Amino acid sequence: MTENKFYKPVGGLVRAELFHSSQVDSVEQLRWGGGVEVGLVDDASSYTEQFSADNRQVSVLHTLTLCSQQRDASPWLDKEFLRRVAVEGVVAEITLASGCEILVGWSERFAVEQALRLKSLNVISGKRPTDLPRVELTLWSHDTESAFV
């Protein structure tokens, strides 16, 4: 007899709050809230770290992809918000499905100098009649440290 095994999922994001880098003087300040937080679509948001070595210097490419239903994503579609994300960047406080909380776009060494910046914003209609319109916001930055450390 084959035994069915069920595993608790640990991938994906359940929460992300974005703070403009000019708002962040210290990590403790982020605990007060006041950032931009939008409800996320289940199983559609992700965070990745890609390590590489150019000229023997290890760097980390941080990529944060957030996905929300279009009706909930109006803060991301605001022109001033997008301009600030592109120019000054953001620090993201994210909660993974595993329960782990990490900061992306801030490091001990650089503080907010390596903040996440706008890579793309996609408004997606969907392909099937049952698809809800959604918005996908992708942010990225280069740094020398992992957010998990």
The pLDDT tens digits of the residues spanning 67-114 come to: 999 999 999 999 999 999 999 999 999 999 888 999 999 887 777 788
Q: Which is nearest to 81 in space by CA: 70, 71, 90, 92?
A: 90
**Encoded tokens for 32:** 């007060």
Mean of all residue pLDDT scores within the chain: 86
Task: Kindly state the average pLDDT of the residues 8-18.
Answer: 80
Give residue 43's pLDDT. Answer: 82
Q: Tell me, what's the pLDDT at 58?
A: 87
pLDDT digits (tens, 9 = 90+) for 62-72: 999 999 999 99
Q: What is the pTM of this model?
A: 0.86
CB 95 within 8 Å of CB 15: yes
33: left (phi over 0), alpha (psi -120 to 50) or beta: left
Please state, in angstroms and rounded to a whole number, the distance separating the CA atoms of residues 95 and 140: 17
Query: How much of the chain, in percent, has pLDDT values that exceed 70?
Result: 88
DSSP state of 79: H
Please give the single-letter amino acid code of residue 118: L
- Residue 102 corresponds to which tokens in the numbers above? 């990490």
The set of residues, in sequence order, having a beta carbon less than 8 Å from that of 21 and lying 6+ positions away, is: 88, 89, 90, 91, 105, 112, 115
Q: What is the chain's percent helix, strand, coil content, to nearest 5?
A: 15, 45, 40
The tokens for 99 are 């329960």
